[in-house]
Amino acid sequence: MYRNHTKAVRIGDRVIGGGNPILIQSMTNTKTSDVAATVAQIQRLAEAGCEIVRCTVPDMEAAGAIAQIKKEISIPLVADIHFDYRMAIAAMENGVDKIRINPGNIGSREKVAAVVRAARERSIPIRVGVNSGSLERELVEKYNGVTAEGIVESALDKVHIIEDLGYDNMVISIKSSDVMMSVKAHELLADRTPYPLHVGITEAGTLISGNIKSAVGLGIILNEGIGDTIRVSLTGDPVEEIKSAKLILRALGLRRGGVEVVSCPTCGRTNIDLIGLANQVETLVQG
């Protein structure tokens, strides 16, 4: 199992990697600066079974809100950073448990080094995230398009930047909306790194299409023993992501608990409202 080969990384009071259980993540879609709305959504997510939550930190107002949000939630909080290294440092100063960055869009080596220095001082892990949609032009040209090999090379390049700065408290995330490209990329990466992997199919889509793509992609990846924490990316209420993630883990035998509702698909012999009844039962037993 690849998963047993990854190092353990602590995120707040949770640990991923090192053979620990796979944890479920989601991301808020509120404005982070709206503390009340963000806290309310995180509490709903936690009640549904979310174990790590991420929020965007696009400006100093959002970074400043982290301190108050942390006081009112019970699960680890990750700050999602794009482009501005100062947001990463401010989020860490305000008590965030992990940051997610792409060193390639943070800017100069000095800016990345400042982020790493702040993380090291507080023992805060860095999630290195690479998305197929933002793959560097030279890698697209090298591999004649966006490919799994290019995604993996891009991710490892970013990891090496942070390693060269003397830090190895990392988690890696490589994502694509192409299911089979994601599968291949994770297979390639799992053999080449000791760091825990956050797994998901990015921009998966709406409730139906997103669930199908995520179930197929995550099902294949997790069944190969790859992955330490997961997110089902859906367009809509993030609580739905938690329901889906729990079902995927249960279907693979990676999580126990809850009640599985088994119901007939119905046919012309059905004499009751079995569809409505099955939906009611499933709603009642979700947990």
151-155, 227-231, 245-249, 255-259: segment of lowest average pLDDT: 255-259
Query: 90 to each of 57, 64, 176, 215, how far by Cα in Å?
Result: 9, 7, 29, 36
Average pLDDT value for the chain? 89
Average pLDDT of the segment spanning 7-22: 96
pLDDT greater than 90 at residue 204: no
**Please, which residues have CB within 8 angstroms of residue 23's CB and are 6 or more apart in sequence?**
14, 16, 51, 52, 228, 229, 230
* Residue 135 confidence (pLDDT): 87
pLDDT in tens, 232-266: 999 989 999 999 999 999 999 998 765 454 555 65
Q: What pLDDT score was predicted for residue 257? A: 60
* CATH C-level class of 2-256: alpha beta
The encoded tokens of residue 170 equal 């990392």
Listed in order, the ranges of the chain carrying CATH 3.20.20.20 are: 2-256
Q: Note the pLDDT tens digit of each residue in 56-110.
A: 999 999 999 999 999 999 999 999 998 899 999 999 999 999 999 988 888 888 9
Instruction: Measure the CA–CA gap between 287 and 280, rounded to whole angstroms.
Output: 14
Residues 6+ apart with CB under 8 A from 13: 76
State the pLDDT confidence band at 212, using cuts at 50, 70 and 90: very high
Task: Please state, in angstroms and rounded to a whole number, the distance separating the CA atoms of residues 148 and 168.
Answer: 24
pLDDT at position 245: 97
User: What's the average model confidence in pLDDT over 126-148?
Assistant: 92
Show contacts of 142-146: CB within 8 Å, 24+ apart. Answer: 146/176, 146/181
Residue-level pLDDT at 274: 46
